[in-house]
Amino acid sequence: MILMKLYLYNLINTITLVIMFIPALSQDTQEIAIANEYYLNGKKEEAIEAYKSLTKNPLNIPLIHSNYLNLLLVTSKYKQAEDYLEKIIKRDNRFTYQLDLGVLLVKSGDLVKANKYFLSLFKNNVADVYKMKIAAEHLSGYGLYDYATTALLQARQTTGNPILFILELANLYRLQNRKEEMVSEYLNYVTQTPANTTYVKNILQVLLTKSEELKTLENVLYQRVQENPQSETYADLLIWVNLQEKNFYGAFIQARAYDKRFKREPPKTMEIGQIALSNKDYEIAIKSFGFVIKEYPETENLLSARLGIIKAQEAKVKKSFPVNRDSVKYLIGEYGLFQQQYARQPIANEALINEAMLYAYYLNENDSASHLLTRLIKKPQVSNQTIAQAKINLGDIYLLKGEPWESTLLYSQVEKAQHESPLGYEAKLRNAKLWYFNGDFKLAEEHLDILKQATSREIANDAMELSMRIKENITFDTTGTALKEYAAIELLVYQNKIDDALDKVQHFKSTKASPGITDDVYWLEANLWMKKGKFEEAITVLQKIIDEYGNDILADDASFLQADIYENQIKNKEKAMDKYRDFLTRYPGSVYAAEARKRYRVLRGDFEEKPNQ
């Protein structure tokens, strides 16, 4: 019984002692919250005093260390920071506290001592790769990227692993704006993990935005391709960087070498041909497709390449003003021959549609065009998408013939059948334009409001542009009289009635009906003069846009088109270079800036063939 009482007495005393010492064995939560409040509210001195008091309890240190040290450094209390760090390091010699002592030396300006300290600290811990990674992350947080880089490089050297910390070093080089070293690390990374090539392309596309930076990457890749001719990764990246520079000739040269060496399917040159065609570099498109025909004659790429050449030739003919009718007839013959040779292939239907539109737009043979498209629509075993496309084109032809109700009937059929698809949106856009031509702007806008959310960026942009034109001009003229007259002129242009449209433009200008639409009228007039091959007249009108509407949306379009006319129509290389240079000075933020820079460099001779290609 006595033993039991003694046991209970000792137990009670023990519990009492534990309860008494609990505050010493726990963190001062309330006081920490108050100190943090001072810190967040910018009350630096109050926060420093509060944190200083809290350092007496070692359990508080992990919760207050970062804020307290930052305050001491910001307020230049270097001696107090040194005393604090030495004190906590004696209690807890953790690695991050040791790093902070080096940070203090740097912030206090003692760089010689800091260098010696970090070199010694890294040397003593370099065998522990995890610690060196912690060092790099910790020092990066203080903006000490050089020391962070040194830590990782020493770990790489000690382990003898040249790919250790590739992504970490690439990021550090990025933060230091050391682009060449950054690129080198990313290239090393993608060599080790080719599956991540797309990831690296996306990173480099974001980080390398200047022409000279892309040129540096291109030069590095040329060197690596020559040193590692069997590396598909480097060869693929070299093609990619040429595309980023819009150097389609260079991309073609590298793609041709790639296809000869690796014989992959689909061929890279096929991709370059399609990209060049969409970017209006028709010569490179033709060369690329021609290479595919020669080197891949027994593959499914042959048909697409052959049709691609005809489409590129067609685009060239359309861009040469005035359009040569004999060239159009030649293209019609080429499309017809293609259909005969590949009559049972679905791709022949695309050739038929293209042939029909040439008849309609450039030979004014609407009946021949209608006959071809009607035959295709009735043809058995044709895909729904092809039928929908043929109906849209047939609707266009009815509009050319001045039969808008037949047009809207066909457009509406496609809208219904291809709901929420690109072709459905395209048909809806056609209907919106039709109502616009007819002067029914309210109905046009109802269609356009839906199309602004279209998945196709091109359709959404077209819808936005037309919607803005309607809104802006109705603001100036609530009756819409001037806009109706302008829309009627646009319909004449669409119907290829160039002389009638020019007469209407001159009348419109003489009435000065609406100043808000005058720049659009100038733009329309300039393009009409181009269609007639009157390039000097076009340039003169475009200059009016630049002079009178220099801050409006069409100014950069006008300036770029002037340069394009000198380059591609008048064939005056020096004048074109002057205009592109002037354009880049005036409109550096224009959507045409990259294309203008590329064209200027092409004219200057930057994209000459490299040796050993």
pLDDT per position as a tens digit, 410-466: 999 999 999 889 999 999 999 999 999 999 999 999 999 999 887 788 899 999 999
Q: What is the pLDDT of residue 3?
A: 35
C-alpha 380/C-alpha 253 separation (Å) is 43
How far apart are alpha carbons 304 and 310 in whole angstroms?
10
User: Do 321 and 533 touch, CB atoms closer than 8 A?
Assistant: yes
pLDDT at res. 609: 54
610 pLDDT above the threshold of 70 = no
The one-letter code for the residue type at 521 is V
Mean pLDDT over 318-331 rounds to 95
DSSP per residue, 341-410: HTTTSTHHHHHHHHHHHHHHHHS--HHHHHHHHHHHHH-TT--HHHHHHHHHHHHHHHHHTT-HHHHHHH
Q: What is the predicted pLDDT for the residue at 8?
A: 40
pLDDT for 20: 37
What pTM was estimated for this model as a whole?
0.81
Residue 66: pLDDT above 80? Answer: yes
CATH topology assigned to domain 487-604: 1.25.40
- Mean pLDDT along residues 267-278: 97
SS3 76: coil
Report pLDDT for 511.
81
Please state, in angstroms and rounded to a whole number, the distance separating the CA atoms of residues 480 and 509.
Answer: 16
Lowest mean pLDDT among 21-30, 293-302, 336-345, 419-428: 21-30
**Spatial distance between the Cα atoms of 124 and 93, rounded to a whole number of angstroms:** 14
pLDDT of residue 306: 97
pLDDT bin (cut points 50, 70, 90) of residue 537 is very high
**pLDDT tens digits, 27-56:** 688 999 999 999 999 999 999 999 999 999
Three-class DSSP category at 379: coil
State pLDDT tens for residues 211-253: 888 988 999 999 999 999 999 999 999 999 999 988 999 999 9
Confidence at residue 222, expressed as pLDDT on a 0 to 100 scale:
93
**Model pLDDT for residues 166-209, shown as the tens digit of each residue:** 999 999 999 999 988 999 999 999 988 889 999 999 999 999 98
The rounded distance, in Å, linking the Cα atoms of 199 and 206 is 11
Tell me the pLDDT band of 512, cut-offs 50, 70 and 90. low
Q: Taking all residues of the chain, what is their mean pLDDT, rounded to a whole number?
A: 91
Confidence tier at 514 by pLDDT (50, 70, 90): low
Contact in structure between 253 and 269 (CB atoms under 8 Å): no
Express each pLDDT in 544-600 by its tens digit: 999 999 988 899 999 999 999 999 999 999 999 999 999 999 999 999 998 999 899
Greater pLDDT, 485 or 6: 485
CA 210-591-278 angle, to 5 degrees, is 95
Q: Which two tokens mark 189?
A: 């990374």
User: What does the block give as tokens for 473?
Assistant: 């001009």
Query: At residue 61, does pLDDT exceed 70?
Result: yes
